[in-house]
Structure formats: C-alpha cells, structure tokens
Amino acid sequence: MAGLVVHGAQWGDEGKGKIVDLLTEQAGLIVRFHGGNNAGHTLVVGGEKTVLHLIPSGILHQGKRCVIGAGVVLDPEVFLMEVDKLAATGVDMSPARLAVSYRTHIIMPYHKLLDAARESAKAGAKIGTTGRGIGPCYEDKASRVGIRAADFLDEELLARKIEHALCEKNALFTGLYGMEPLKTDDVLAALKPLAERIKPYIADVSAMIQEANASGVGVLFEGAQGTHLDIDHGTYPFVTSSSCVISNAASGSGCSPRELGAVVSVVKAYTTRVGSGPFPTELSCKHGDHLQSVGAEFGATTGRKRRCGWQDMVLLREAVRLNGTTGLALTKLDVLGGLDQIKICTAYRYEGAEILYPPQREGALAHVEPIYETMPCWTEDVSKCRTWDELPKAAKDYILRLEELSGAPVSIVSVGPDREQTIYRS
Ligand code: GDP
Ligand code: IMO
Ligand code: MG
C-alpha cells in the first residue's frame, strides 16, 4: 500500500498539522521524517487547540502509531515535555504507540548555545533561526560527530562522544564567542535522566514502516517546514538545515522512495514567512495587516509575527514541480474574505525578462518584481461552508485559478482551524 506524504509548499506554517490530523483517518502509522522542534504544528479538534513540535500530528487519533524517523533532530527535553503534556490530557503516550528511531540525532545543549551565539554575532545578516539548535545538530550529523538516540543505550560511548564534541565546541565558545566552556560531566548528568525516560521509545522505525507496508497498514509521512526552506532548493542561505522536499520522506524515515504514493502539498491561500530572507509578494499595507491580524499570523514555535503577502504562483509552481504534487490542500481561505481585492503573483520580472520559475543565483529572489493579476474577493464568511457548492462564486473562481496556474488540483479546502472546517473535493 503506497504511503501518503503531507508537506509544506511555501515557507512553513501552511497548516500541515491540521491536514495530517485529518488524513490520519486513512493511515495506521504516522512518521515525522525531518526537522525538529523548530516546527510548530497546530491541531484544533472540537475547539481544543494542541500545538506539537516533535510528536507526529496523528497522535490525537487513538490507536494510530506515531513514529519519529532518522531524519529528525530531537531535543530530549522538548520531546518529554510534549509526551507529558499530551499524557496529562488523557492521550496514550506509551511506547506501544510512539517510537523514536535508533538513528534520530539528538539536539544537545551545546547546539542550542551555538545557534544563539551565532545569530547574535551576525550583525545584519541574521537568518532569524528559531534558536532551537537545529543547524548545529545537523552540522554534527554531517560531520559524523553527532549523538544519536541509540547512544542512550551505551553510556560509555555517550560520554566519549560528548567529550569529543565538546573539544571543538568549547574552543568556539571560549575563543570566538567569549562564553564559558561546558563540562562533559555536567552535560552527561543533565542528559542521563532524560535518556532513561526516552530509552523505552527507541525502536527500529524503518522496520516498522516495512511491517506496516507488508500488513497493508497505511503510512502517512509528515513533513515539517516548507519547500522554500529546503537546504538545497530553498532561498539559501535563509533556509533551515534539512531537506524539506518529499524525497526526504523516504530517506528521513528509512524506506524506499517506491513506498511514497500520493503527495499532498499544503499551501495557504496567501503567503507567510517567519525569519529573514527574500519574500517577493510581501505586503506592508492594509492588505498585509488584514492577513496578519485576521489570519492570527504569529509563529506557533517562537510567537514571532509572521510576514504576510499575496499568493506567489512562481513559488507554488516550483513546489509542485519539486515534490510531484498529486493534490493541493489549500488552507486559510476564510482569512481572505472581506478584502476589497485579491492579487495573485503569476510570474516575476527579472533582469528585463518575465520568468515563471524562481531565479537560481543566490540573493536573486530579492530583486524580482512580482507580476500580478487581480481578482474580486467575497464578503461572505466561508468558515461555515462544508461543501464546494456552498462557497461563494468569487472564492471558487480564486481556487480554480490557482489550480490552473499551479497545474495541480486543489483536493482539500480548509476554511477554519478546526478539523471540521474542511471541504473535500476528491
Ligand atoms: P504548520 O506548521 O504547517 O502545521 O502550521 P501552523 O500550525 O504553524 O500554522 C497554521 C495556523 O493556521 C494554525 O494556527 C492553525 O490552527 C491555523 N489554521 C489552519 N488551517 C486554517 C484555516 O483554514 N483557517 C484559519 N483561519 N486558520 C487555519
Ligand atoms: P513548521 O513545521 C516556519 C524558519 C525559521 C528561520 C529558518 C531557519 O511549523 O512549518 P531554523 O531554526 O530551522 O534553523 O531556522 O527557518 N523555520 C520555520 N518557519 N515554520 C517552520 O516549521 C519553521 N522551521 C524553521 O523561522 O527563518
Ligand atoms: Mg508551524
């Protein structure tokens, strides 16, 4: 049975959490395959809001198994806080339904310190990271000095690896950033009680996916961040440190790309971005204020105000191309209602030419001029619509135009944060 991949088509916060929660109905195993607690995925069920940073967004469906793949970077403290918080609300958080791969890399205290020190040392060119130690943890993974969940099972190895990592980290802390060095014993002592609690969750996630496939249990792969934050294909250097395109669903969880089936690309009805970096359709006018305030556009992880702008079809077309989208899940349609007009960026003007895909050179996206077409908006409140036919004509026309310009069908329309505020088209 082919898996279902849900991922972000923009710069994150598209509403992936809501869509994963919805589509969990069709799956038995939900796998987070990359990123860490830089993510904030929001689920609203019957008016109750849950924000998840590491635990897969299928967790509210009792009986479904949620697993964290090798491609994720896991902060033990955050993981356990999330486990405890959910358990306190009555969710079964036992190792029978939650697992962490042996190969998942661990975010260590020195990763967080390094992330913060680097950002504050950068004068004008801050990435605007979430400060969660994501980049430094992925760096250690690539440098082959990372700590993995499996190391919790071998204390001697764990101590040796921490000591080795600290040689270099402490040289940076003291020599470059004027900070105090960390001691191996202190780091180990703080980690030990967390590691003890995480040990029962450590499992062979790759084998679990294989078993699920063999027994016909549907697998849902949950992406974090978004295509344009991808380390290779995003707006480098203003990106995160993992691969956010769906090909990583296979390597980040431990299965063959042949196991990936339908690809649901989640896209907001407009565009938002948190942190620094180019944003061609960004608005600093009453329309941008409308999107920010009506859309309650504050980051679910850091609480930062999200930058807002019109829908950018150049970026969406690129996301559809890179991910092989089979269906778009269009979220936050309700937020557009009441505007005097809607603009869609259909192409860019760049160095005198009209282009349909993002320019390749670093920094070039900051110099494109969006080419817009304007469409009428609607005044009706669409948040109570539950079928396609109930939507106002202007809203339907907007969606149909997005389909036409992106080349991908809109199969789900979300008209509010709640699980129920959803229109299925196919
Ligand atoms: P994710 O990181 O992609 O899971 O998205 P976030 O949870 O960070 O941000 C999406 C925000 O939009 C959350 O507050 C959701 O509850 C909310 N949301 C999702 N879909 C809709 C929708 O259709 N309408 C409105 N108004 N809010 C939505
Ligand atoms: P979800 O899964 C939005 C952004 C940060 C920053 C850049 C690098 O909720 O969609 P990092 O801490 O990853 O090194 O920061 O990436 N970023 C996100 N923006 N949603 C996210 O996740 C993000 N995860 C990282 O704001 O610009
Ligand atoms: Mg988010």
Express each pLDDT in 101-152 by its tens digit: 999 999 999 999 999 999 999 877 899 999 999 999 999 999 999 999 999 9
C-beta 415 within 6 A of ligand 1 = yes
C-beta 129 within 6 A of ligand 2 = yes
Residue 14 belongs to a domain with what CATH number? 3.40.440.10
Structural domain boundaries enclosing 139: 105-198
Contact 101, 205 (CB under 8 A): yes
Are 84 and 9 within one domain? yes
Q: Whose CA is nearest to atom 8 of ligand 1?
A: 13
The ligand whose atoms approach the alpha carbon of 382 most closely is 1
Are 29 and 63 within one domain? yes
Residue among 18, 19, 32 whose CB has most ligand 1 atoms within 8 A, to mutate: 18
pLDDT at 45: 96
pLDDT at 425: 92
Are 126 and 164 within one domain? yes
- Active site (annotated) includes residue 233: no
pLDDT at 301: 84
pLDDT at 125: 80
**Token code pair at residue 91:** 């969710």
Domain boundary among 263, 285, 302: 263
- CA dist 415 and 392 (Å) reads 12
Are 61 and 192 within one domain? no
- CA dist 111 and 139 (Å) reads 9
Are 276 and 360 within one domain? yes
Query: Bridge partners of 262?
Result: 4
Whether this prediction's pTM lies above 0.85 is answered by: yes
Are 149 and 164 within one domain? yes
Are 84 and 143 within one domain? no
**Token code pair at residue 54:** 């590491």
Domain boundary among 263, 297, 315: 263
Residues of the chain with pLDDT under 70: 1
Are 344 and 355 within one domain? yes
| Number of domains within the chain | 3
For every residue of the chain, which 3-state class applies, written as one string? CCEEEEEECCCCCCCHHHHHHHHHHHCCEEEECCECCCCCEEEEECCEEEEECCCCCCCCCCCCEEEECCCEEECHHHHHHHHHHHHHCCCCCCCCCEEEECCCEECCHHHHHHHHHHHHHCCCCCCCCCCCCHHHHHHHHHHCCCCEHHHHHCHHHHHHHHHHHHHHHHHHHHHCCCCCCCCHHHHHHHHHHHHHHHHHHEECHHHHHHHHHHCCCCEEEECCCCHHHCCCCCCCCCCCCCCCCCHHHHHCCCCCHHHEEEEEEEEECCEEECCCCCCCCECCCHHHHHHHHHCCCECCCCCCECEEECEEHHHHHHHHHHHCCCEEEEECHHHHCCCCCEEEEEEEEECCEEECCCCCCCCHHHHCEEEEEEECCCCCCHHHCCCHHHCCHHHHHHHHHHHHHHCCCEEEEECCCECCCEEECC
pLDDT tens figures, 214-272:
999 999 999 999 999 999 999 999 999 999 999 999 999 999 999 999 999 999 999 99
**Token code pair at residue 35:** 């990123």
pLDDT at 420: 97
C-beta 253 within 6 A of ligand 2 = no
Q: Whose CA is nearest to atom 26 of ligand 1?
A: 416
The ligand whose atoms approach the alpha carbon of 50 most closely is 1
The ligand whose atoms approach the alpha carbon of 32 most closely is 2
C-beta 184 within 6 A of ligand 1 = no
Neighbours of 398 (CB within 10 A): 23
Atom of ligand 1 nearest to the CA of 42: 7
pLDDT at 1: 64
Residue 375 belongs to a domain with what CATH number? 3.90.170.10
Longest CA pairwise span in the chain (Å): 66
From 7, 13, 115, 334, active-site residue: 13
Are 294 and 417 within one domain? yes
CA 225 to chain CA centroid, nearest Å:
3
Are 184 and 217 within one domain? no
Are 352 and 236 within one domain? no
Residue among 6, 38, 53 whose CB has most ligand 2 atoms within 8 A, to mutate: 38
- Active site (annotated) includes residue 228: no
**Token code pair at residue 295:** 């859309």
From 7, 21, 34, 41, active-site residue: 41
Residue 137 belongs to a domain with what CATH number? 1.10.300.10
Domain boundary among 236, 263, 290: 263
- CA dist 342 and 319 (Å) reads 22
- Closest to 223 measured CA to CA, from 425, 23, 1: 23
Are 321 and 349 within one domain? yes
